[in-house]
Amino acid sequence: MSDTTEPSGLQEPSLDEQIAAYQREFRDLDPQVEQVVSALGRLNRRMNVGYGRQLADLGISNAEWEVLKTLVVAGSPYRLGPGELAKRLGLTPAAMTHRIDRMANEGLVTRDRDENNRVRVIVELTDEGRTKWLEAMRMASAFEEDLLQDLSGEERGALGEMLIRLLRRVEHTQPDAGGRLKDLD
């Protein structure tokens, strides 16, 4: 019999064990820094799994959700070119072409040549795409609310503020040399 190929739910050592191991193997490690960084990474992974499951129920992938979000954030009339989308998502234009193909086939977006400049292509959210985004958003925000339930309003504020400070630092630290992204936001 074959195995189920079900990776299931990620079996890794506890955060404490992991950090203890790092310290054991690498003396000059600041455990406090490592705790913050590792917790950040793990949290993000778990959250992406959560989003992925919810999106799967809606019949869309994580990748498709990213595109929907980007078009919605762009605002009415929910149009962007493939190049612009690629830039915002951190994908190559080639990947964008294929992603749009798939999404257009599923009716989430339309792809048309710009009449005023026939080199340009316009990707536009369909009503169905917009509806999917809304449904996904509803589920996601419930999940997020749930996730933060243990933090007081004040704590949420402090957490948000610190994360934004880190974000500013990381953006400042690595201006914008090339680099691919693996993740959504």
Residues 20-49 that bind its own copies (CB under 8 A): 21-22, 24-26, 28-30, 32-49
Residue type, position 28, single letter: D
Please name every residue paired with 124 in a beta bridge, in sequence order, or none if there are none.
79, 110
Nearer Cβ to DNA (19/65): 65
Of these, 90, 111, 122, 131, which contacts its own copies (CB under 8 A)?
90
> For residues 52 and 47, what is the distance between their CA atoms, to the nearest angstrom?
8
Q: Considering the complex, what minimum distance in angstroms separates the CB of residue 172 from DNA?
A: 24
Angle at Cα 110 formed by Cα 48 and Cα 68, nearest 5°? Answer: 20
Angle, CA of 180, 181 and 185, to the nearest 5°: 155
SS3 category, 81: coil
Which residue lies nearer to its own copies by CB, 102 or 130? Answer: 130
Residues between 96 and 125 with contacts to its own copies, criterion CB under 8 A: none
Residues 6+ apart with CB under 8 A from 16: none
| Cα-based torsion angle of the residue sequence 23, 28, 31, 33 in order, rounded to the nearest 10 degrees | -140
Closer to DNA by Cβ: residue 34 or 50: 50
Shortest Å, Cβ 106 to its own copies: 20
Measured from the CB atom, the residue of 96 and 125 that comes closer to DNA is: 96
Instruction: Name the one range near DNA by CB under 7 A: 35-43, 98-106, 127-135, 153-161.
Output: 98-106
Looking only at residues 145 through 164 of this chain, which bind its own copies when binding is defined by CB under 8 A? 145-151, 153, 155-160, 162-164
Among 11, 105, 116, 117, binds its own copies (CB under 8 A): 11
- Please tell me what DSSP assigns to residue 145: H
